[in-house]
Structure 1
Amino acid sequence: MSKPVTILAVPVFSLLCNAAFALRREVFVWEQNVPEDEEHDQYDLTATHFVAIVDGEVVGTLRLVDLPEHAKIGRVAVRQALRGQGIARKLIAAAMAHARERGQDRFYLTAQSDKLGFYESLGFVAFGPEFIDGGMPHRAMRDYDKHSAQLVD
């Protein structure tokens, strides 16, 4: 049986956000060999950061960047030993609910190509060509507007 997961939005550079940054380094830099200078960018200062906590420890994170055209979900990371337990799914649902409470209903992300199926299961649709980011192939994805049956730009 899986343990309870708490999802929180946390201020940038708070203790919990710093733990999220450490987890991102663990997953992206150490595990996936993303160049360290590409892991952080200007959006980290203005994004809303979310953490997943299990047994008092940050085990998942993502950031939500508010842009005029959409909210961008990014830097989704879950500690390797806890993957496949729904943590990323809970983080994304919480981030999207947070954005919707603020009037945003259009979402965008760039997914590692081997993770497309996961994001498709959440209602995202890939578009455009594959590209390299952090040394790995990615595709842009956006949510699907079921009301108009058209892709959301």
Structure 2
Amino acid sequence: MQITVLIVPPFSTLCNAAFNLRREVFVWEQKVPEEEEHDSDDLTATHLVAIAEGEVVGTLRMLDKPEHIKIGRVAVRQAYRGNGIAKQMMIAAMDHARAKGRDRFYLTAQSDKLGFYERLGYVAFGPEFQDGGMPHYAMRTYEKDTAKLTS
């Protein structure tokens, strides 16, 4: 399956399709309260979309914080899961940040997704916590840990 990963501006047509996908995955499928799904960070985030068969099938956002790049809102349409789309988006996001000289990454992962992020070089730290009604862990990594995994 041919996947194209693009960086898109907030509230562009493709970004709006990504917001709809996030609503589909997080609000409808995972029952995250809608008021928690979108926030003011969407205005300043760098948004990535994955396109397959002419439609947005994956998305994530990156927040440029002083101490790290925070990756979040990683979502793939249910029918397209298992095709490596999330991995392609994560690699593209990390490569984009590296090109800007950023090499520290942070995210919060749903507890059942820890293995996926660990394979990308992330390490969980701190206690498990609830976010959107689901258990999560904070995870981080640094360039020295991930360069060989994502290149």
TM-score, scaled to structure 2: 0.94
1:67 matched to which residue of 2? 65
What displacement does 1:146 show? 3.6
For residues 2-151 of structure 1, the aligned pairs below 5 Å read 3-144=1-142, 146=144
Deviations 1:58-87 (A, max 9, x none): 000000000000000000000001111100
What displacement does 1:42 show? 1.4
Distance in 2 between residues matched to 1:42 and 1:126, nearest whole Å: 26
Partner of 1:130, secondary structure, is: strand
The answer for unaligned runs of 5 or more in structure 2 is 146-151
TM-score, scaled to structure 1: 0.93
Deviations 1:66-115 (A, max 9, x none): 00000000000000011111000000000001111111100000000000
Aligned residues: 145
- Equivalent residues of 2:103, 2:142 under 8 A apart: no
Distance in 2 between residues matched to 1:101 and 1:134, nearest whole Å: 32
Partner of 1:75, secondary structure, is: strand
The answer for unaligned runs of 5 or more in structure 1 is 148-153
What displacement does 1:19 show? 0.1
- The residue type paired with residue 5 of structure 1 is I
Partner of 2:139, secondary structure, is: strand
Greater helix share, 1 or 2?
A: 2
Deviations 1:113-132 (A, max 9, x none): 00000000100000000000
Distance in 1 between residues matched to 2:104 and 2:38, nearest whole Å: 24
Distance in 1 between residues matched to 2:38 and 2:141, nearest whole Å: 25
Partner of 2:102, secondary structure, is: coil
Ranges of 4+ aligned residues in structure 1 off by more than 3 Å: 144-147
User: Cα RMSD (Å) of the superposition?
Assistant: 0.9
- Equivalent residues of 1:62, 1:75 under 8 A apart: yes
